Amino acid sequence: MNDKTKHIGLFAGSFDPFTEGHASIVRRALTFVDSVVIGIGVNPDKHYLYTVDERRDTIERRYAGEERVSVVAYEGLTADLARRLGACCLIKGVRNAADLEYERLQADFNRSHGIETVLLPAEPHLVDVSSTKEREKIRQQNNNPYQS
């Protein structure tokens, strides 16, 4: 590698919503790649709590001023986006054995499409954080008649 080669890591997911667990993965990835592109996957068949624009805006606000982090929305194969970006790797977080097995299978698929995956275990205090749980909390708060 010469000094002009930049290592871009692609951190892809639905980020509906973006959690502290996701932020931890970005922070840790920046210790071994030059920049992280947060790729918001859009599946037209999936129903989201937040629109892609809301998700992108939230993440961009969080990383305003951090020039090593950028955000893109995309459809299609993550490996295709990684290739277009010139990413050296995909970055994924894993919280438990089920996540690990799922991400290992995805890593095998992505490797067959020319991109390696780096799996980062969740920090112990974040293993219970998930977008699914965060969405449920938000839904409960929005349906709470006693909420001010």
Which is catalytic among the residues 46, 47, 112, 148?
46
**Which ranges in the chain belong to alpha helices (H)?**
20-29, 52-62, 78-85, 97-112, 131-142
Q: Which of 62, 130, 131, 135 is catalytic?
A: 131
Look up 111 and say whether it is catalytic. no
Q: Given the structure tokens 């990684």, which residue do they identify?
A: 82
Q: At 53, phi and psi to the nearest 5?
A: -65, -40
Closest to 73 (Cα-Cα) out of 48, 107, 98: 48
Q: Exactly one of 28, 62, 83, 95 is catalytic; which is it?
A: 95
The two three-digit tokens of residue 110, written as one number: 């992505």
Classified as helix, coil or strand, 125 is helix
Q: What distance in Å separates the CA atoms of residue 40 and residue 76, rounded to the nearest whole number? A: 11
22 is catalytic: yes
Active site residues: 22, 46, 95, 131
